[in-house]
Amino acid sequence: MTLRRLRHQIGIACVLAACAACAACAGAPRQRQLPLGQVEGGPGTISAARQYLEGKWSLVSLDVFPPGQAPIHAGATGTLTYDDYANMTVDLRVDNDTARLFQKIGIEAPGGVIRTTGKTLVDMNGRTLSYMLEGQALIRPATHPLDTNRPRYWEVEGNTLTLRTKDDKGTVLSVAVWQKS
């Protein structure tokens, strides 16, 4: 056997030994936890906002302002439910006249029902709630004033929650007022 061939075989043996040693090592949990700090609590924090939102809300009023058209003062009833996992479900039932007006501006209300369920993100600085719906593209054009890709700008006063949607210029497209049940 030549010296060159012997070196080559020794090199291959070393590589194989190193691979075997790496494969034989079992993963282990970190010995030291990462310093995460405390979760902020109290007024003005996301956790306080989520706690405020938790529960069931009843619709007081719903107004939609389609661009270039007369406002729609919806004949509607509804509930908004927000759970402790940031899931929000909105169930609206609109009368026949409202359903027809909604249809004209692209809001589907089959049988007079509009239902939206999804995970939400709370933005304290922008004072918005945004939906994250499974299977829905994060970035897509809005099709109507109540589209789920529009953030809901929120205001609170006591047990009243007001949610607004706006267009890209900041013009209000809808106002929904909710009362805590």
SS3 94: strand
Whether 116 and 107 have beta carbons less than 8 Å apart is answered as no
Return d(Cα 19, Cα 9) in angstroms, integer: 15
The residues spanned by each domain of the chain are: 46-180
Task: Return the pLDDT at 6.
Answer: 62
Please tell me the pTM assigned to this model. Answer: 0.75
pLDDT in tens, 20-75: 555 555 555 555 655 555 555 667 788 888 888 999 999 999 999 999 999 999 99
Spelled out in words, what is the top-level CATH class assigned to the domain 46-180?
mainly beta
Residues constituting the chain: 181
Whether 57 and 81 have beta carbons less than 8 Å apart is answered as yes
SS3 163: strand
SS3 105: coil
Return d(Cα 63, Cα 67) in angstroms, integer: 13
Give the number of other Cβ atoms within 10 Å of residue 120's Cβ: 18
HEC-encoded secondary structure of 146-158: CCCCCCEEEEEEC
> Percent of the chain beyond pLDDT 90?
62
